[in-house]
């Protein structure tokens, strides 16, 4: 327990900080990372996989190495390591901001203001909101809440349990980089390949844990389990379909289908507008026998996301504590070593 105390205290404190305050409005470390990654992209960009791999390695490696050095420097201080984990956890978690944005869209939809809802949707996902009706907007929000519960909460906590503050921050760097360059536009199909593949690998365990915890938190666990196991692997993403299918079954709604993406031009990289809007995907239906999404399902998805996040905190922290206890009992010299 003593070895796991810094992580336990820090992870719980960071989770509570996110629940209370959400993301800071200005100067968010993730935004700072994104700006730095965009500047490096501008300097390195070539329409090649190897150049994109270098970009990924430098961005993620710098974050991971910096966090590891900070963790090593604080190795003798329980309070210092706990504070580092708390700061890292608060930095990487996005559950409160996720549900806040979802509820803003829901309020606009309830007020009948489709234009305001369409204007706000890009804060949640990269889809083209133009022309979406109320049901399509609600579906986009629920799908985004499901996918980002995995990415912005469960996966981060999973990697934190594995590698502490360096794991938390490195995963967030991977996930942010994938959102920036990991899509299949003409500019990023090759350059963003390494980021997209690394995000797939890093997101694999947390996506499955998200689905399991969603089943556990569902009002009808059997239905959530059935839809997840049947439809989760039909999604083109190896990870997103796990959370979305489990949420579909848990909420009793039908997700998936045709959607249009709008990445939008990024001024700092000089991407021309022609590369932004208009990419269409036809995704498999998840929970095809269930009813369509309504506006009221957005709030239900937000509450489910919060329950899943709380369960993820308990499971990952508990696993870290148990692993530390096992190590103490199986390694006689453990107590004489300098803790990592």
Mean pLDDT for the stretch of residues 20-44:
90
In 90-248, at which residue ranges do the beta strands (DSSP E only) sit?
A: none
Mean pLDDT for the stretch of residues 152-180:
96
Can you give the pTM of this predicted structure?
0.89
Q: What percent of the chain has pLDDT over 90?
A: 75
d(CA 202, CA 62): 17
d(CA 193, CA 181): 8
Confidence check: pLDDT of 199 > 60:
yes
* 116 or 266, greater pLDDT: 116
* 47 or 185, greater pLDDT: 47
* 271 or 185, greater pLDDT: 185
pLDDT at 198: 97
d(CA 213, CA 321): 19
Within 74-127, where are the H helices?
78-92, 95-110, 114-120
CB 265 within 8 A of CB 278: no
CA distances, 31 to each of 25, 115, 125, 253 (Å): 10, 27, 16, 34
pLDDT at 270: 37
CB 154 within 8 A of CB 204: no
d(CA 187, CA 191): 7
Given the structure tokens 């999973």, which residue do they identify? 158
CB atoms near residue 251 (< 10 Å): 29
Write 54-61 long-range contacts (CB < 8 A, 24+): 55/181, 55/191, 55/194, 55/195, 56/177, 56/194, 56/195, 56/198, 57/194, 59/33, 59/173, 59/177, 60/170, 60/173, 60/174, 60/177, 60/198
Q: Which two tokens stand for residue 189?
A: 């199909």
Residue 278: helix, strand or coil by DSSP? Answer: strand
CA distances, 168 to each of 44, 138, 235, 313 (Å): 26, 30, 26, 13
From the number of C-beta atoms within 10 Å of its C-beta (0-12, 13-18, 19+), residue 4 rates as buried
The per-residue pLDDT for range 313-323, each reduced to its tens digit, is 999 999 999 88
* 128 or 338, greater pLDDT: 128
Confidence category of residue 9, pLDDT binned at 50, 70, 90: very high
pLDDT at 277: 44
């Amino acid at each position: 327990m003593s070895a796991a105390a810094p992580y336990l205290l820090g992870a719980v404190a960071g989770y509570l900080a996110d629940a209370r305050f959400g993301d800071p409005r200005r100067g968010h470390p993730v935004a700072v990372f994104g700006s730095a990654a965009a500047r490096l992209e501008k300097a390195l960009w070539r329409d090649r996989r190897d150049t994109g791999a270098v970009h990924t390695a430098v961005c993620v490696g710098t974050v991971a190495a910096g966090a590891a050095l900070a963790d090593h420097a604080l190795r003798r201080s329980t309070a210092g390591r706990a504070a580092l984990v708390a700061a890292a956890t608060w930095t990487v978690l996005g559950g409160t901001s996720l549900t806040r944005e979802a509820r803003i869209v829901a309020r606009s939809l309830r007020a009948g203001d489709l234009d305001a809802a369409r204007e706000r949707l890009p804060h949640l996902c990269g889809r083209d909101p133009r022309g979406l009706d109320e049901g399509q907007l609600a579906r986009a929000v629920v799908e985004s809440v499901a996918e980002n519960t995995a990415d912005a909460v469960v996966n981060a906590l999973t990697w934190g349990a594995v590698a502490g503050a360096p794991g938390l921050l490195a995963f967030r760097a991977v996930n942010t980089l994938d959102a920036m360059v990991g899509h299949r536009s003409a500019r990023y199909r090759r350059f963003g390949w390494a980021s997209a593949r690394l995000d797939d690998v890093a997101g694999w365990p947390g996506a499955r844990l998200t689905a399991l915890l969603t089943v556990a938190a569902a009002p009808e666990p059997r239905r959530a389990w059935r839809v997840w196991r049947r439809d989760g692997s039909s999604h083109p993403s190896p990870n997103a379909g796990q959370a979305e299918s489990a949420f579909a079954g848990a909420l009793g709604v039908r997700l998936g289908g045709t959607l249009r993406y709008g990445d939008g031009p990024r001024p700092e990289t000089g991407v021309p507008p022609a590369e932004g809007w208009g990419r269409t995907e036809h995704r498999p239906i998840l929970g095809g026998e269930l009813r369509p999404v309504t506006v009221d399902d957005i709030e239900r998805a937000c509450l489910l996301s919060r329950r899943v996040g709380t369960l993820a905190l308990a499971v990952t922290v508990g696993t870290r504590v148990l692993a530390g206890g096992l190590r103490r009992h199986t390694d006689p010299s453990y107590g004489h070593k300098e803790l990592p």
